[in-house]
């Protein structure tokens, strides 16, 4: 049966957090610190009810794992969601064709553009 010492296991805490957040209407990656006082109270009530009704059996770990898998499949691994584009390897083109030394004084941008050999892209 689930008991207070099970809260010391970080894997159990993370599974409980994910299931609790989704089932109480929040994003799966939401943490308690991001919630308002009212939202924290509602999440805490849902969590206590979940533990009292679903985890008071000998195979509570399997029940929690199944609920966690269901939440992950629906919220994270949904095939209908398109893959996100990775922006870490995109080449950034330098738009300034003619390097110049910037001074502390404000420089009129028209002077810089007129002195360039090629137009800005």
Count of all residues that appear for the chain in the document: 121
CB count in 10 Å sphere of residue 40: 13
Whether residue 121 has pLDDT greater than 50: no
pTM above the 0.85 mark?
no
Per-residue model confidence as pLDDT tens digits over 100-112? 666 665 555 555 5
Average pLDDT over residues 32-51: 93
DSSP string of 58-82? TTHHHHHHHHHHHHHHHHTS-TTSP
Q: What is the mean pLDDT of residues 14-18?
A: 93
**Per-residue pLDDT averaged across 80-103, rounded?**
59
Q: What per-residue confidence (pLDDT) applies to 31?
A: 87
Distance between CA atoms of 53 and 40, rounded to whole angstroms?
A: 20
Residue 30 binned pLDDT confidence (cut-offs 50, 70, 90): confident
Residue 42 tokens read as 């509602």
Residue 20 has pLDDT above 60, yes or no: yes
The whole-chain average pLDDT of the chain stands at 79
Q: CA distances (Å), 99 to each of 35, 49, 94, 96, 102, in order?
A: 48, 65, 10, 7, 9
């Amino acid at each position: 049966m689930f008991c207070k010492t099970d809260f010391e296991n970080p894997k159990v805490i993370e599974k409980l957090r994910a299931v609790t957040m989704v089932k109480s209407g929040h994003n799966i990656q939401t943490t308690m610190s991001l919630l308002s006082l009212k939202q924290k109270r509602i999440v805490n009530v849902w969590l206590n009810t979940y533990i009292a009704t679903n985890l008071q059996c000998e195979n509570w770990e399997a029940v929690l794992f199944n609920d966690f898998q269901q939440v992950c499949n629906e919220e994270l691994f949904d095939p209908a969601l398109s893959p996100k584009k990775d922006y870490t390897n995109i080449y950034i083109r330098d738009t300034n064709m003619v390097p110049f030394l910037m001074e502390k004084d404000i420089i009129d941008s028209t002077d810089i553009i007129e002195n360039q050999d090629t137009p800005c892209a």
